[in-house]
Amino acid sequence: MKPSIPVIAIDGPSASGKGTVAQAVAKALGFHFLDSGSLYRLVALAALNSGSPWSDEKALAELASKLDVKFRDGLIILNNQDVTESIRSEACGEGASRVGAVPGVRDALLQRQRAFRQPPGLVADGRDMGTVVFADAPLKIYLTAGVETRAERRHKQLKQKGIAATLPLLLRDLQERDLRDMSRAAAPLKPSPDAHLLDTTAMSAEAATEQVLTWYRGLREK
């Protein structure tokens, strides 16, 4: 851990907009950015490619510990292949929620995530950034939105990519993912006691970004 390097930890449920906001905040401050969900999606993709079942904790933990991944020029390279788009599939999103409930996987990825803490600072988004990975972060955000709003956002994203999906199915999938993320034994999704709550149901990404920046600037002025 490198406590002298500031971290803004942004946690929240799927499709809440935390990734968009986190990237915008990182760009505004010139900080590094960690999309922790991409690591779990990578484990899910590796499991799908290898045929490892979600119930095989040992196999999943081994895949996580041996991930040959590189983040380069906005691309995500796994085993020398560009998987930037592949890990954004609904199958990988569902798989990420499943492998994220496996304690061995979370343990294997913990130090890899903490290694992203480099000068001048880091903005990290995920499910347990403020509660576990960067528990000493000076600024923690729990960013959420109503599940219906999140389903509509996800539907719009998929439609823009030419992927067919129905709102009722997306709504059910998000509800099931929320339940799984919040009830898992290992690092469940929940607000850190010292986190700022940010509900983006009726808020634009730009407004949410400015709110996070305002909180950070206020912290720096103390």
d(CA 104, CA 114): 16
pLDDT at 158 exceeding the cut of 90: no
Residue 3's pLDDT is 61
d(CA 25, CA 7): 11
Domain spans, the chain = 7-216
Average pLDDT for 154-177: 90
pLDDT at 1 exceeding the cut of 70: no
Average pLDDT for 155-176: 90
Q: Write the DSSP assignment of 132-153 as a string of letters.
A: IITTT-SEEEEEE--HHHHHHH
pTM here is 0.87
Average pLDDT for 169-174: 94
Average pLDDT for 96-117: 91
Residue 139's pLDDT is 97
Q: What confidence tens digit (pLDDT) does each residue in 116-156 have?
A: 999 999 999 999 999 999 999 999 999 999 999 999 999 99
| Average pLDDT along the chain | 92
pLDDT at 2 exceeding the cut of 60: no
Q: What confidence tens digit (pLDDT) does each residue in 79-96 have?
A: 889 999 899 888 898 899
pLDDT at 174 exceeding the cut of 60: yes
Residue 69 · residue 78 · CB < 8 Å? yes
pLDDT at 68 exceeding the cut of 90: no
Overall fold of domain 7-216: Rossmann fold (3.40.50)
Q: Write the DSSP assignment of 172-211 as a string of letters.
A: HHHHHHHHHHHH-SSS-S---TTPEEEE-TT--HHHHHHH
**Which is nearest to 136 in space by CA: 23, 9, 19?**
9
pLDDT tier at 161, thresholds 50, 70, 90: confident
